[in-house]
């Protein structure tokens, strides 16, 4: 299957600072990538759709000025959590659809654990 990587795998930051998380499709190109947030023992909640070369589309209730998304190339999307606060501590996961046999299959990255002190 296709491979999606994330960096860093975990990060600890102080309240008020910004953190950037990278999502890369390693062996395929992705015009669209998705960013999810997952709290302990809960399901994945879609935050936004990252579109290569254009603005991201945010889900209802997600602050676009707080969660900045940039999809500058067909293999890289970044999520920047600005002015992070303890309530932003979570597991952030990206995914990208890869075309196989004329249909799209979503592959997920390994996730980034963010802890805001």
Partner 1 sequence: GENVEQHPSTLSVQEGDSAVIKCTYSDSASNYFPWYKQELGKGPQLIIDIRSNVGEKKDQRIAVTLNKTAKHFSLHITETQPEDSAVYFCAASHPGGGNKLTFGTGTQLKVEL
Give the footprint of partner 1 on this chain (CB under 8 A). Answer: 1, 4, 6, 32, 34, 42-44, 46, 49, 91, 93, 95, 97, 103-111, 113
- Cβ distance to partner 1 smaller for residue 50 or 84: 50
CB of 102 to partner 1, least distance (A): 11
DSSP-based three-state secondary structure for 80: strand
How far apart CA 44 and CA 106 sit, in angstroms, is 14
Cβ-based nearer residue to partner 1, 38 or 80: 38
Query: Least CB distance from residue 14 to partner 1, whole Å?
Result: 23
Using CA atoms, how far residue 31 sits from 66, 69, 85, 113, in Å, is 23, 14, 31, 25
Instruction: Give me the least distance between CB of 96 and partner 1, in Å please.
Output: 9
Looking at the chain, the number of H-run helices and the number of E-run strands are 0, 11
Q: Give the residue with the Cβ less far from partner 1, 81 or 111.
A: 111
Separation between Cα atoms, residue 57 and residue 68, nearest integer Å: 11
Q: Closest separation between CB of residue 15 and partner 1, Å?
A: 23
Q: What phi and psi, each to the nearest 5 degrees, are found at residue 88?
A: -85, -5
């Amino acid at each position: 299957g296709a491979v999606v990587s994330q960096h860093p795998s975990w990060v600890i930051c102080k309240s008020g600072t910004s953190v950037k998380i990278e999502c890369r499709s390693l062996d395929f190109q992705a015009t669209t990538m998705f960013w999810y947030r997952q709290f302990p023992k809960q399901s994945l909640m879609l935050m936004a759709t990252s579109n290569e070369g254009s603005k991201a589309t945010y889900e209802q209730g997600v602050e676009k000025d707080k969660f900045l998304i940039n999809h500058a190339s067909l293999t890289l999307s970044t999520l920047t959590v600005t002015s992070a606060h303890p309530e932003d501590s979570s597991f952030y996961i990206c995914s990208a659809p890869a075309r196989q046999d004329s249909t799209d299959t979503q592959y997920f990255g390994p996730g980034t654990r963010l802890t805001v002190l």
